[in-house]
Structure 1
Protein backbone atom coordinates (compact mmCIF):
# COMPACT_ATOMS: atom_id res chain seq x y z
CA UNK A 1 0.00 0.00 0.00
CA UNK A 2 1.29 3.44 -0.95
CA UNK A 3 1.87 5.52 2.16
CA UNK A 4 -0.91 8.03 2.72
CA UNK A 5 -0.41 11.11 4.88
CA UNK A 6 -2.88 11.40 7.74
CA UNK A 7 -3.83 14.35 9.94
CA UNK A 8 -5.65 13.67 13.20
CA UNK A 9 -7.48 16.66 14.71
CA UNK A 10 -8.09 16.80 18.46
CA UNK A 11 -9.69 19.45 20.67
CA UNK A 12 -8.98 19.17 24.39
CA UNK A 13 -10.52 20.71 27.47
CA UNK A 14 -9.73 19.61 31.03
CA UNK A 15 -8.97 16.13 29.78
CA UNK A 16 -6.16 15.09 32.12
CA UNK A 17 -7.95 11.97 33.39
CA UNK A 18 -8.13 10.08 30.08
CA UNK A 19 -5.91 12.01 27.65
CA UNK A 20 -2.72 9.95 28.21
CA UNK A 21 -4.55 6.72 27.34
CA UNK A 22 -5.79 8.18 24.08
CA UNK A 23 -2.40 9.60 23.14
CA UNK A 24 -0.81 6.23 23.90
CA UNK A 25 -3.31 4.52 21.61
CA UNK A 26 -2.38 6.90 18.79
CA UNK A 27 1.33 6.31 19.27
CA UNK A 28 0.63 2.56 19.20
CA UNK A 29 -0.98 2.68 15.74
CA UNK A 30 0.49 0.18 13.29
CA UNK A 31 0.25 2.86 10.59
CA UNK A 32 2.97 5.43 11.36
CA UNK A 33 2.41 8.18 8.77
CA UNK A 34 0.23 10.51 10.83
CA UNK A 35 0.40 13.85 12.58
CA UNK A 36 -1.78 14.90 15.47
CA UNK A 37 -2.87 18.56 15.57
CA UNK A 38 -4.25 19.64 18.94
CA UNK A 39 -6.19 22.71 19.97
CA UNK A 40 -6.55 23.12 23.72
CA UNK A 41 -9.63 25.16 24.52
CA UNK A 42 -8.41 26.78 27.74
CA UNK A 43 -7.91 23.84 30.09
CA UNK A 44 -7.42 24.66 33.75
CA UNK A 45 -6.06 21.25 34.79
CA UNK A 46 -2.87 19.44 33.68
CA UNK A 47 -4.03 18.88 30.09
CA UNK A 48 -1.60 21.38 28.57
CA UNK A 49 1.30 19.92 30.57
CA UNK A 50 0.42 16.42 29.33
CA UNK A 51 0.27 17.65 25.74
CA UNK A 52 3.65 19.38 26.09
CA UNK A 53 5.25 16.21 27.45
CA UNK A 54 3.85 14.03 24.67
CA UNK A 55 4.79 16.52 21.93
CA UNK A 56 8.41 16.44 23.19
CA UNK A 57 8.34 12.65 23.18
CA UNK A 58 6.80 12.28 19.70
CA UNK A 59 7.34 14.93 17.03
CA UNK A 60 4.20 13.84 15.21
CA UNK A 61 2.17 15.52 18.00
CA UNK A 62 1.79 19.26 17.43
CA UNK A 63 -0.05 21.53 19.86
CA UNK A 64 -1.44 24.82 18.63
CA UNK A 65 -0.15 27.50 21.00
CA UNK A 66 -1.79 30.66 22.36
CA UNK A 67 -5.18 30.14 20.77
CA UNK A 68 -8.44 31.57 22.15
CA UNK A 69 -11.44 29.66 23.42
CA UNK A 70 -13.32 28.45 20.34
CA UNK A 71 -15.83 25.84 21.45
CA UNK A 72 -15.79 22.26 20.25
CA UNK A 73 -17.22 22.71 16.71
CA UNK A 74 -15.06 25.68 15.72
CA UNK A 75 -11.98 24.14 17.32
CA UNK A 76 -12.22 20.93 15.30
CA UNK A 77 -13.10 22.59 12.00
CA UNK A 78 -10.42 25.28 12.31
CA UNK A 79 -7.72 22.60 12.65
CA UNK A 80 -8.52 21.32 9.15
CA UNK A 81 -6.87 24.34 7.55
CA UNK A 82 -3.56 23.79 9.34
CA UNK A 83 -2.06 21.12 7.12
CA UNK A 84 -2.68 19.27 3.84
CA UNK A 85 -3.07 15.49 3.97
CA UNK A 86 -4.67 12.61 2.11
CA UNK A 87 -6.99 11.70 4.97
CA UNK A 88 -8.29 13.39 8.11
CA UNK A 89 -9.54 11.96 11.40
CA UNK A 90 -11.28 13.53 14.39
CA UNK A 91 -10.14 12.34 17.81
CA UNK A 92 -11.76 12.90 21.18
CA UNK A 93 -9.53 13.32 24.21
CA UNK A 94 -10.99 10.45 26.22
CA UNK A 95 -11.37 7.46 23.87
CA UNK A 96 -9.04 4.58 23.03
CA UNK A 97 -8.32 3.57 19.43
CA UNK A 98 -7.61 0.04 18.29
CA UNK A 99 -3.96 -0.20 17.09
CA UNK A 100 -5.11 -0.96 13.52
CA UNK A 101 -7.71 1.81 13.23
CA UNK A 102 -5.75 3.97 10.79
CA UNK A 103 -4.50 1.10 8.65
CA UNK A 104 -7.89 -0.60 8.37
CA UNK A 105 -9.77 2.55 7.42
CA UNK A 106 -7.19 3.67 4.88
CA UNK A 107 -7.20 0.20 3.31
CA UNK A 108 -10.98 0.30 2.87
CA UNK A 109 -10.78 3.70 1.15
CA UNK A 110 -8.13 2.81 -1.42
CA UNK A 111 -10.58 2.15 -4.29
CA UNK A 112 -12.76 5.23 -3.71
CA UNK A 113 -13.14 7.74 -6.55
CA UNK A 114 -10.44 10.32 -5.66
CA UNK A 115 -12.25 13.34 -7.11
CA UNK A 116 -15.27 12.99 -4.81
CA UNK A 117 -15.58 13.93 -1.12
CA UNK A 118 -15.77 10.76 0.93
CA UNK A 119 -16.39 9.96 4.59
CA UNK A 120 -15.93 6.58 6.26
CA UNK A 121 -17.05 5.74 9.80
CA UNK A 122 -16.23 2.61 11.72
CA UNK A 123 -17.91 0.67 14.49
CA UNK A 124 -17.13 1.14 18.16
CA UNK A 125 -17.58 -0.37 21.59
CA UNK A 126 -18.63 1.75 24.53
CA UNK A 127 -16.34 1.71 27.54
CA UNK A 128 -16.72 3.19 31.00
CA UNK A 129 -14.34 5.40 32.94
CA UNK A 130 -12.22 2.36 33.82
CA UNK A 131 -12.00 1.17 30.22
CA UNK A 132 -14.43 -1.72 30.80
CA UNK A 133 -16.69 -2.51 27.88
CA UNK A 134 -20.31 -1.58 28.55
CA UNK A 135 -23.27 -3.77 27.61
CA UNK A 136 -24.15 -3.32 23.96
CA UNK A 137 -26.33 -0.30 23.23
CA UNK A 138 -27.94 0.52 19.91
CA UNK A 139 -26.18 3.68 18.80
CA UNK A 140 -26.46 2.98 15.08
CA UNK A 141 -30.24 3.14 14.88
CA UNK A 142 -30.21 3.35 11.09
CA UNK A 143 -27.84 2.96 8.17
CA UNK A 144 -29.30 5.52 5.78
CA UNK A 145 -26.25 7.16 4.20
CA UNK A 146 -28.25 9.32 1.79
CA UNK A 147 -28.22 13.11 1.80
CA UNK A 148 -31.93 12.99 2.65
CA UNK A 149 -31.15 10.93 5.74
CA UNK A 150 -28.47 13.32 7.00
CA UNK A 151 -30.70 16.38 6.63
CA UNK A 152 -32.61 15.21 9.72
CA UNK A 153 -30.42 12.57 11.37
CA UNK A 154 -26.79 11.80 12.10
CA UNK A 155 -25.32 8.35 12.71
CA UNK A 156 -21.73 9.59 12.27
CA UNK A 157 -19.77 9.96 15.51
CA UNK A 158 -16.71 12.18 15.11
CA UNK A 159 -14.22 9.84 16.76
CA UNK A 160 -15.15 7.03 14.33
CA UNK A 161 -14.72 9.05 11.14
CA UNK A 162 -12.16 9.39 8.40
CA UNK A 163 -12.66 11.73 5.44
CA UNK A 164 -10.59 12.52 2.41
CA UNK A 165 -8.93 15.73 1.31
CA UNK A 166 -11.75 16.54 -1.10
CA UNK A 167 -14.22 16.71 1.80
CA UNK A 168 -11.78 18.71 3.89
CA UNK A 169 -11.12 21.17 1.07
CA UNK A 170 -14.84 21.94 0.85
CA UNK A 171 -14.82 22.98 4.51
CA UNK A 172 -11.70 25.12 4.17
CA UNK A 173 -12.96 26.81 1.00
CA UNK A 174 -16.09 28.06 2.80
CA UNK A 175 -14.49 28.78 6.18
CA UNK A 176 -14.58 32.59 5.80
CA UNK A 177 -18.34 32.56 5.07
CA UNK A 178 -19.28 29.87 7.59
CA UNK A 179 -21.46 30.68 10.61
CA UNK A 180 -20.18 27.99 12.95
CA UNK A 181 -22.84 28.82 15.55
CA UNK A 182 -25.45 27.50 13.11
CA UNK A 183 -23.84 24.05 12.96
CA UNK A 184 -25.02 21.24 15.21
CA UNK A 185 -21.70 19.38 15.26
CA UNK A 186 -18.53 19.23 13.16
CA UNK A 187 -18.98 15.57 12.23
CA UNK A 188 -22.53 16.20 10.99
CA UNK A 189 -21.30 18.92 8.62
CA UNK A 190 -18.77 16.53 7.05
CA UNK A 191 -21.51 13.90 6.72
CA UNK A 192 -23.74 16.40 4.88
CA UNK A 193 -20.89 17.34 2.56
CA UNK A 194 -19.97 13.73 1.77
CA UNK A 195 -23.54 12.47 1.38
CA UNK A 196 -24.61 15.46 -0.73
CA UNK A 197 -21.57 15.74 -2.98
CA UNK A 198 -19.87 12.35 -2.67
CA UNK A 199 -20.50 9.33 -0.48
CA UNK A 200 -20.66 8.15 3.15
CA UNK A 201 -19.43 4.58 3.74
CA UNK A 202 -19.14 2.30 6.75
CA UNK A 203 -16.23 0.22 7.99
CA UNK A 204 -17.83 -2.73 9.72
CA UNK A 205 -15.22 -3.16 12.44
CA UNK A 206 -15.23 -1.87 16.05
CA UNK A 207 -12.06 0.25 15.98
CA UNK A 208 -12.78 2.75 18.78
CA UNK A 209 -13.34 2.39 22.49
CA UNK A 210 -15.94 5.18 22.86
CA UNK A 211 -15.74 6.26 26.47
CA UNK A 212 -18.88 7.21 28.37
CA UNK A 213 -18.49 9.15 31.60
CA UNK A 214 -20.03 12.05 33.50
CA UNK A 215 -18.08 14.78 31.70
CA UNK A 216 -18.71 13.84 28.05
CA UNK A 217 -19.35 16.82 25.79
CA UNK A 218 -21.58 14.58 23.65
CA UNK A 219 -23.08 11.19 24.45
CA UNK A 220 -22.74 11.39 28.23
CA UNK A 221 -24.90 9.26 30.43
CA UNK A 222 -25.91 9.78 34.03
CA UNK A 223 -26.47 13.18 35.59
CA UNK A 224 -26.08 15.16 32.38
CA UNK A 225 -28.96 13.25 30.81
CA UNK A 226 -31.33 14.60 33.46
CA UNK A 227 -29.95 18.11 33.14
CA UNK A 228 -30.52 18.05 29.38
CA UNK A 229 -34.06 16.76 29.87
CA UNK A 230 -34.80 19.57 32.32
CA UNK A 231 -33.44 22.13 29.86
CA UNK A 232 -35.80 20.82 27.20
CA UNK A 233 -38.84 20.81 29.47
CA UNK A 234 -38.19 24.38 30.56
CA UNK A 235 -37.29 25.42 26.99
CA UNK A 236 -34.00 26.72 28.30
CA UNK A 237 -32.42 25.54 25.06
CA UNK A 238 -33.82 25.34 21.55
CA UNK A 239 -35.08 21.86 20.82
CA UNK A 240 -33.28 19.76 18.26
CA UNK A 241 -35.41 20.30 15.16
CA UNK A 242 -34.80 24.06 15.23
CA UNK A 243 -31.05 23.51 15.45
CA UNK A 244 -31.18 21.01 12.59
CA UNK A 245 -33.06 23.47 10.36
CA UNK A 246 -30.46 26.14 11.12
CA UNK A 247 -27.69 23.73 10.17
CA UNK A 248 -29.45 22.74 6.94
CA UNK A 249 -30.00 26.40 6.09
CA UNK A 250 -26.30 27.10 6.62
CA UNK A 251 -25.32 24.07 4.54
CA UNK A 252 -27.56 25.16 1.67
CA UNK A 253 -26.16 28.69 1.73
CA UNK A 254 -22.63 27.31 1.45
CA UNK A 255 -23.02 24.24 -0.77
CA UNK A 256 -26.55 24.24 -2.22
CA UNK A 257 -25.42 25.33 -5.69
CA UNK A 258 -23.23 22.23 -5.99
CA UNK A 259 -26.02 19.72 -5.26
CA UNK A 260 -28.08 17.78 -7.77
CA UNK A 261 -31.54 19.28 -8.44
CA UNK A 262 -33.20 16.55 -6.36
CA UNK A 263 -30.94 17.17 -3.37
CA UNK A 264 -31.34 20.93 -3.77
CA UNK A 265 -35.09 20.51 -3.44
CA UNK A 266 -34.72 18.42 -0.28
CA UNK A 267 -32.18 20.73 1.32
CA UNK A 268 -34.13 23.87 0.49
CA UNK A 269 -37.27 22.37 2.00
CA UNK A 270 -35.48 21.97 5.33
CA UNK A 271 -33.89 25.43 5.16
CA UNK A 272 -37.24 27.07 4.40
CA UNK A 273 -38.87 25.70 7.55
CA UNK A 274 -37.28 28.57 9.50
CA UNK A 275 -39.08 31.30 7.57
CA UNK A 276 -41.97 29.78 5.58
CA UNK A 277 -45.26 28.49 6.96
CA UNK A 278 -47.06 26.32 4.45
CA UNK A 279 -48.23 23.45 6.66
CA UNK A 280 -50.30 21.44 4.19
CA UNK A 281 -47.67 21.69 1.46
CA UNK A 282 -44.79 21.02 3.88
CA UNK A 283 -46.50 18.03 5.51
CA UNK A 284 -47.31 16.62 2.08
CA UNK A 285 -43.70 17.11 0.88
CA UNK A 286 -42.25 15.43 3.99
CA UNK A 287 -44.59 12.46 3.58
CA UNK A 288 -43.97 12.15 -0.16
CA UNK A 289 -40.18 12.15 0.29
CA UNK A 290 -40.19 10.04 3.48
CA UNK A 291 -38.43 12.72 5.54
CA UNK A 292 -38.38 11.36 9.07
CA UNK A 293 -36.37 11.55 12.26
CA UNK A 294 -35.36 8.07 13.29
CA UNK A 295 -35.97 8.51 17.00
CA UNK A 296 -39.75 8.27 17.48
CA UNK A 297 -39.97 11.11 19.99
CA UNK A 298 -37.94 13.35 17.69
CA UNK A 299 -40.15 12.48 14.73
CA UNK A 300 -43.25 13.49 16.69
CA UNK A 301 -41.48 16.79 17.39
CA UNK A 302 -40.77 17.19 13.66
CA UNK A 303 -44.40 16.52 12.67
CA UNK A 304 -45.62 19.04 15.25
CA UNK A 305 -43.06 21.56 14.03
CA UNK A 306 -44.48 21.42 10.49
CA UNK A 307 -47.94 22.48 11.65
CA UNK A 308 -46.98 25.33 13.97
CA UNK A 309 -47.03 28.96 12.75
CA UNK A 310 -43.60 30.60 12.50
CA UNK A 311 -43.98 32.62 15.71
CA UNK A 312 -44.77 29.48 17.70
CA UNK A 313 -41.93 27.55 16.05
CA UNK A 314 -39.49 30.22 17.15
CA UNK A 315 -40.92 30.42 20.67
CA UNK A 316 -41.18 26.69 21.36
CA UNK A 317 -38.27 25.30 19.36
Structure 2
Protein backbone atom coordinates (compact mmCIF):
# COMPACT_ATOMS: atom_id res chain seq x y z
CA UNK A 1 0.00 0.00 0.00
CA UNK A 2 1.46 3.35 -1.03
CA UNK A 3 1.54 6.26 1.39
CA UNK A 4 2.04 9.78 0.11
CA UNK A 5 3.01 12.51 2.52
CA UNK A 6 0.88 15.68 2.51
CA UNK A 7 2.40 18.42 0.38
CA UNK A 8 2.63 21.74 2.22
CA UNK A 9 3.56 25.10 0.72
CA UNK A 10 5.25 27.22 3.41
CA UNK A 11 5.25 30.95 2.67
CA UNK A 12 8.09 32.68 4.54
CA UNK A 13 8.47 36.47 4.71
CA UNK A 14 11.95 37.71 5.60
CA UNK A 15 13.64 41.01 6.39
CA UNK A 16 17.08 41.47 7.97
CA UNK A 17 16.81 37.95 9.29
CA UNK A 18 20.40 36.71 9.32
CA UNK A 19 20.43 36.24 13.08
CA UNK A 20 17.61 33.69 13.04
CA UNK A 21 16.54 32.48 9.59
CA UNK A 22 18.87 29.46 9.39
CA UNK A 23 17.46 28.02 12.62
CA UNK A 24 13.91 28.71 11.44
CA UNK A 25 14.47 26.97 8.09
CA UNK A 26 16.06 23.98 9.79
CA UNK A 27 12.99 23.58 12.01
CA UNK A 28 10.68 23.71 8.98
CA UNK A 29 12.69 21.17 7.03
CA UNK A 30 12.66 18.88 10.08
CA UNK A 31 8.84 18.60 10.09
CA UNK A 32 7.62 15.03 10.50
CA UNK A 33 5.33 13.10 8.16
CA UNK A 34 4.88 15.93 5.65
CA UNK A 35 6.72 17.15 2.57
CA UNK A 36 7.36 20.88 2.65
CA UNK A 37 8.18 23.33 -0.13
CA UNK A 38 9.39 26.64 1.25
CA UNK A 39 8.92 29.90 -0.66
CA UNK A 40 10.88 32.89 0.64
CA UNK A 41 10.21 36.55 -0.12
CA UNK A 42 12.84 38.97 1.21
CA UNK A 43 12.08 42.61 1.81
CA UNK A 44 15.28 44.45 0.74
CA UNK A 45 17.67 43.99 3.65
CA UNK A 46 20.94 45.43 4.86
CA UNK A 47 22.38 42.34 6.54
CA UNK A 48 22.85 40.03 3.55
CA UNK A 49 19.62 38.07 3.93
CA UNK A 50 18.93 37.98 0.19
CA UNK A 51 22.35 36.60 -0.71
CA UNK A 52 22.29 34.02 2.04
CA UNK A 53 18.80 32.83 1.05
CA UNK A 54 19.88 32.55 -2.59
CA UNK A 55 22.79 30.29 -1.60
CA UNK A 56 20.56 28.26 0.71
CA UNK A 57 17.93 27.75 -1.99
CA UNK A 58 20.61 26.67 -4.44
CA UNK A 59 21.54 23.75 -2.19
CA UNK A 60 18.03 22.82 -1.03
CA UNK A 61 15.73 21.72 -3.87
CA UNK A 62 12.54 22.28 -1.87
CA UNK A 63 13.43 25.91 -1.02
CA UNK A 64 12.66 28.69 -3.53
CA UNK A 65 13.71 32.32 -3.25
CA UNK A 66 11.28 34.59 -5.09
CA UNK A 67 12.72 37.38 -7.29
CA UNK A 68 13.07 40.83 -5.67
CA UNK A 69 9.78 42.74 -5.58
CA UNK A 70 10.05 45.14 -2.63
CA UNK A 71 10.33 47.28 -0.73
CA UNK A 72 7.24 46.14 1.16
CA UNK A 73 7.80 48.16 4.34
CA UNK A 74 6.01 45.64 6.49
CA UNK A 75 5.38 41.92 6.92
CA UNK A 76 1.75 42.08 5.75
CA UNK A 77 2.63 43.39 2.28
CA UNK A 78 5.41 40.82 2.02
CA UNK A 79 2.93 38.03 2.80
CA UNK A 80 0.42 39.43 0.32
CA UNK A 81 3.17 39.29 -2.32
CA UNK A 82 3.85 35.65 -1.43
CA UNK A 83 0.17 34.75 -1.68
CA UNK A 84 -0.10 36.57 -5.00
CA UNK A 85 3.03 35.17 -6.65
CA UNK A 86 3.28 31.58 -5.37
CA UNK A 87 1.25 28.98 -7.26
CA UNK A 88 0.07 26.73 -4.43
CA UNK A 89 -2.90 25.29 -6.33
CA UNK A 90 -1.37 21.79 -6.37
CA UNK A 91 -0.53 21.66 -2.67
CA UNK A 92 -2.59 19.93 -0.01
CA UNK A 93 -2.08 22.71 2.54
CA UNK A 94 -0.65 26.24 2.77
CA UNK A 95 1.21 27.54 5.82
CA UNK A 96 2.63 30.92 6.83
CA UNK A 97 6.03 31.33 8.46
CA UNK A 98 8.02 34.13 10.06
CA UNK A 99 11.82 34.17 9.78
CA UNK A 100 12.75 33.97 13.43
CA UNK A 101 10.76 31.26 15.22
CA UNK A 102 11.46 27.60 15.99
CA UNK A 103 8.81 25.12 14.91
CA UNK A 104 8.28 21.94 16.91
CA UNK A 105 8.86 18.87 14.72
CA UNK A 106 5.17 17.87 14.69
CA UNK A 107 3.76 21.39 14.15
CA UNK A 108 2.44 20.73 10.63
CA UNK A 109 1.60 17.09 11.28
CA UNK A 110 -0.62 18.03 14.21
CA UNK A 111 -2.26 20.86 12.26
CA UNK A 112 -3.05 18.60 9.32
CA UNK A 113 -4.49 15.91 11.58
CA UNK A 114 -6.85 18.49 13.10
CA UNK A 115 -7.81 19.91 9.70
CA UNK A 116 -8.69 16.44 8.47
CA UNK A 117 -10.31 14.87 11.52
CA UNK A 118 -12.32 17.88 12.67
CA UNK A 119 -13.44 18.90 9.17
CA UNK A 120 -12.16 22.47 9.53
CA UNK A 121 -10.62 24.74 6.91
CA UNK A 122 -8.19 26.88 8.86
CA UNK A 123 -5.89 26.10 11.79
CA UNK A 124 -3.87 28.12 14.26
CA UNK A 125 -2.38 27.32 17.64
CA UNK A 126 -1.03 28.67 20.86
CA UNK A 127 2.69 29.38 21.04
CA UNK A 128 5.44 29.63 23.63
CA UNK A 129 7.02 33.07 23.52
CA UNK A 130 10.70 33.26 24.45
CA UNK A 131 13.15 36.09 25.02
CA UNK A 132 16.95 36.40 24.78
CA UNK A 133 17.20 36.46 28.60
CA UNK A 134 15.71 32.96 28.81
CA UNK A 135 12.20 33.98 29.79
CA UNK A 136 9.45 31.74 28.40
CA UNK A 137 5.68 32.29 28.41
CA UNK A 138 2.78 30.31 26.99
CA UNK A 139 0.57 32.58 24.87
CA UNK A 140 -3.05 31.47 25.01
CA UNK A 141 -5.27 32.43 22.06
CA UNK A 142 -7.51 29.37 22.18
CA UNK A 143 -10.54 30.85 23.91
CA UNK A 144 -13.92 29.89 22.36
CA UNK A 145 -14.63 31.82 19.20
CA UNK A 146 -17.48 34.34 19.30
CA UNK A 147 -19.70 35.77 16.59
CA UNK A 148 -17.66 38.80 15.52
CA UNK A 149 -14.24 38.21 17.10
CA UNK A 150 -12.60 38.15 13.68
CA UNK A 151 -13.28 41.86 13.22
CA UNK A 152 -11.13 42.76 16.22
CA UNK A 153 -8.47 40.08 16.52
CA UNK A 154 -6.59 37.32 14.77
CA UNK A 155 -6.75 33.61 15.59
CA UNK A 156 -3.28 33.72 17.11
CA UNK A 157 0.08 34.45 15.45
CA UNK A 158 -0.02 34.11 11.67
CA UNK A 159 3.06 31.89 11.78
CA UNK A 160 0.83 29.14 13.20
CA UNK A 161 -1.72 29.31 10.36
CA UNK A 162 -2.31 26.28 8.13
CA UNK A 163 -5.00 26.49 5.42
CA UNK A 164 -6.85 23.99 3.30
CA UNK A 165 -6.77 24.61 -0.49
CA UNK A 166 -10.27 26.10 -0.81
CA UNK A 167 -9.62 28.65 1.93
CA UNK A 168 -6.17 29.51 0.56
CA UNK A 169 -7.54 29.91 -2.97
CA UNK A 170 -10.42 32.10 -1.84
CA UNK A 171 -8.13 34.33 0.19
CA UNK A 172 -5.76 34.64 -2.76
CA UNK A 173 -8.62 35.65 -5.06
CA UNK A 174 -9.69 38.40 -2.66
CA UNK A 175 -6.13 39.71 -2.47
CA UNK A 176 -5.82 39.75 -6.27
CA UNK A 177 -9.22 41.40 -6.74
CA UNK A 178 -8.55 44.08 -4.12
CA UNK A 179 -4.79 44.38 -4.52
CA UNK A 180 -4.55 48.14 -4.08
CA UNK A 181 -6.81 48.35 -1.02
CA UNK A 182 -5.24 45.27 0.55
CA UNK A 183 -1.94 47.15 0.78
CA UNK A 184 -3.48 49.24 3.55
CA UNK A 185 -4.17 46.18 5.73
CA UNK A 186 -1.60 46.19 8.52
CA UNK A 187 -1.96 42.60 9.80
CA UNK A 188 -2.21 39.75 7.30
CA UNK A 189 -3.11 37.14 9.92
CA UNK A 190 -6.06 39.16 11.23
CA UNK A 191 -7.23 39.71 7.64
CA UNK A 192 -6.92 36.02 6.76
CA UNK A 193 -8.92 34.97 9.82
CA UNK A 194 -11.55 37.61 9.04
CA UNK A 195 -11.88 36.37 5.47
CA UNK A 196 -12.23 32.77 6.61
CA UNK A 197 -14.85 33.37 9.28
CA UNK A 198 -16.86 35.87 7.26
CA UNK A 199 -17.06 33.49 4.30
CA UNK A 200 -18.27 30.46 6.22
CA UNK A 201 -14.98 28.60 6.58
CA UNK A 202 -14.51 26.72 9.85
CA UNK A 203 -11.48 27.54 12.01
CA UNK A 204 -9.82 25.63 14.83
CA UNK A 205 -7.56 27.29 17.43
CA UNK A 206 -5.41 24.61 19.02
CA UNK A 207 -4.62 25.08 22.74
CA UNK A 208 -1.46 22.99 22.29
CA UNK A 209 1.54 25.18 21.34
CA UNK A 210 3.19 24.29 18.05
CA UNK A 211 6.30 26.45 18.16
CA UNK A 212 8.62 28.73 20.09
CA UNK A 213 7.75 32.33 19.20
CA UNK A 214 10.87 34.46 19.33
CA UNK A 215 10.64 37.94 20.89
CA UNK A 216 13.24 40.59 20.10
CA UNK A 217 13.57 44.26 19.31
CA UNK A 218 12.85 43.70 15.62
CA UNK A 219 9.41 42.13 16.07
CA UNK A 220 6.79 44.03 14.08
CA UNK A 221 4.00 42.93 16.45
CA UNK A 222 5.11 40.34 18.97
CA UNK A 223 3.48 39.26 22.21
CA UNK A 224 1.36 41.66 24.22
CA UNK A 225 3.39 41.19 27.39
CA UNK A 226 4.75 43.97 29.51
CA UNK A 227 3.93 47.61 30.22
CA UNK A 228 5.71 49.13 27.20
CA UNK A 229 4.01 46.80 24.74
CA UNK A 230 0.61 47.48 26.30
CA UNK A 231 1.16 51.24 26.09
CA UNK A 232 2.27 51.04 22.45
CA UNK A 233 -0.82 49.03 21.49
CA UNK A 234 -3.11 51.33 23.46
CA UNK A 235 -1.73 54.38 21.64
CA UNK A 236 -2.49 52.77 18.28
CA UNK A 237 -6.00 51.94 19.37
CA UNK A 238 -6.69 55.39 20.80
CA UNK A 239 -5.41 57.33 17.79
CA UNK A 240 -8.07 55.70 15.59
CA UNK A 241 -5.78 53.27 13.80
CA UNK A 242 -7.51 50.17 15.18
CA UNK A 243 -11.02 51.22 14.21
CA UNK A 244 -9.81 52.27 10.77
CA UNK A 245 -8.39 48.78 10.31
CA UNK A 246 -11.63 47.21 11.58
CA UNK A 247 -13.67 49.11 9.01
CA UNK A 248 -11.19 48.33 6.24
CA UNK A 249 -11.22 44.59 7.00
CA UNK A 250 -15.03 44.60 7.24
CA UNK A 251 -15.25 46.33 3.88
CA UNK A 252 -12.76 44.02 2.16
CA UNK A 253 -14.43 40.87 3.40
CA UNK A 254 -17.65 42.15 1.82
CA UNK A 255 -20.02 41.35 4.61
CA UNK A 256 -22.55 43.60 6.28
CA UNK A 257 -21.55 43.72 9.92
CA UNK A 258 -24.00 45.00 12.52
CA UNK A 259 -22.75 47.86 14.71
CA UNK A 260 -19.83 48.80 12.42
CA UNK A 261 -21.25 51.54 10.17
CA UNK A 262 -18.54 53.28 8.18
CA UNK A 263 -20.42 56.58 8.08
CA UNK A 264 -18.50 59.04 10.24
CA UNK A 265 -21.75 60.68 11.34
CA UNK A 266 -22.75 57.42 13.00
CA UNK A 267 -19.37 56.56 14.52
CA UNK A 268 -20.41 57.30 18.12
CA UNK A 269 -23.56 55.25 17.65
CA UNK A 270 -21.47 52.38 16.28
CA UNK A 271 -19.16 52.48 19.29
CA UNK A 272 -22.13 52.46 21.68
CA UNK A 273 -23.47 49.40 19.91
CA UNK A 274 -20.09 47.70 20.22
CA UNK A 275 -20.14 48.40 23.95
CA UNK A 276 -23.58 46.81 24.27
CA UNK A 277 -22.44 43.69 22.39
CA UNK A 278 -18.83 43.48 23.57
CA UNK A 279 -19.07 39.76 24.37
CA UNK A 280 -19.43 39.06 20.65
CA UNK A 281 -16.34 41.02 19.63
CA UNK A 282 -13.47 39.62 21.72
CA UNK A 283 -12.79 36.08 22.92
CA UNK A 284 -10.93 36.76 26.14
CA UNK A 285 -12.60 38.59 29.08
CA UNK A 286 -9.65 40.92 29.69
CA UNK A 287 -9.65 41.89 26.01
CA UNK A 288 -13.34 42.76 26.29
CA UNK A 289 -12.49 45.10 29.15
CA UNK A 290 -9.75 46.69 27.03
CA UNK A 291 -12.20 47.15 24.16
CA UNK A 292 -14.71 48.81 26.49
CA UNK A 293 -12.04 51.23 27.71
CA UNK A 294 -10.97 52.06 24.16
CA UNK A 295 -14.58 52.66 23.12
CA UNK A 296 -15.11 54.95 26.12
CA UNK A 297 -11.98 56.93 25.21
CA UNK A 298 -13.16 57.22 21.61
CA UNK A 299 -16.49 58.67 22.73
CA UNK A 300 -14.78 61.06 25.17
CA UNK A 301 -12.41 62.24 22.43
CA UNK A 302 -15.31 62.78 20.06
CA UNK A 303 -17.16 64.89 22.64
CA UNK A 304 -14.06 66.95 23.41
CA UNK A 305 -13.40 67.72 19.75
CA UNK A 306 -17.01 68.50 18.84
CA UNK A 307 -17.35 72.15 17.71
CA UNK A 308 -18.74 74.46 20.40
CA UNK A 309 -21.55 75.62 18.12
CA UNK A 310 -22.72 72.03 17.75
CA UNK A 311 -23.08 71.71 21.54
CA UNK A 312 -24.96 74.99 22.01
CA distance in 2, matches of 1:21, 1:202: 26
Deviation at 1:4, TM superposition (A): 2.6
CA distance in 2, matches of 1:230, 1:148: 24
Residues 271-286 of structure 1 mapped to structure 2, 5 A cutoff: 272-273=261-262, 275-277=264-266, 279=268, 282-284=271-273, 286=275
CA distance in 2, matches of 1:167, 1:307: 40
Deviation at 1:310, TM superposition (A): 9.1
| Post-superposition CA distance 1:151-208 (Å, at most 9, x none) | 1233421111112222222222122324134323000011112222212202232220
Q: Equivalent residue for 1:260?
A: none
Q: Equivalent residue for 1:47?
A: 49
Q: Equivalent residue for 2:32?
A: 30
> Which of these residues, 284, 289, 292, is aligned with residue 299 of structure 1?
292
Structure 2 gap ranges (5+): 307-312
CA distance in 2, matches of 1:123, 1:149: 17
CA distance in 1, matches of 2:142, 2:207: 14
- TM value normalised by structure 1: 0.79
Residues 75-114 of structure 1 mapped to structure 2, 5 A cutoff: 75-81=78-84, 82-84=86-88, 85-113=91-119
> Which of these residues, 216, 240, 245, is aligned with residue 247 of structure 1?
245
Root-mean-square deviation (Å): 3.1
Is 1:136 the counterpart of 2:134? The answer is: no
Does structure 1 conserve the Cα–Cα contact (< 8 Å) formed by 2:141 and 2:156? no
- TM value normalised by structure 2: 0.81
Deviation at 1:243, TM superposition (A): 3.0
- In structure 2, the CA distance between the partners of 1:216 and 1:231, relative to structure 1 (3 Å rule), is closer
Larger deviation, residues 158-167 vs 96-105: 158-167
- In structure 2, the CA distance between the partners of 1:62 and 1:281, relative to structure 1 (3 Å rule), is closer
CA distance in 2, matches of 1:288, 1:151: 13
Larger deviation, residues 10-19 vs 143-152: 143-152
CA distance in 2, matches of 1:22, 1:200: 25
Does structure 2 conserve the Cα–Cα contact (< 8 Å) formed by 1:120 and 1:201? yes
| Post-superposition CA distance 1:30-74 (Å, at most 9, x none) | 234221111100011121232122212211110012222112111
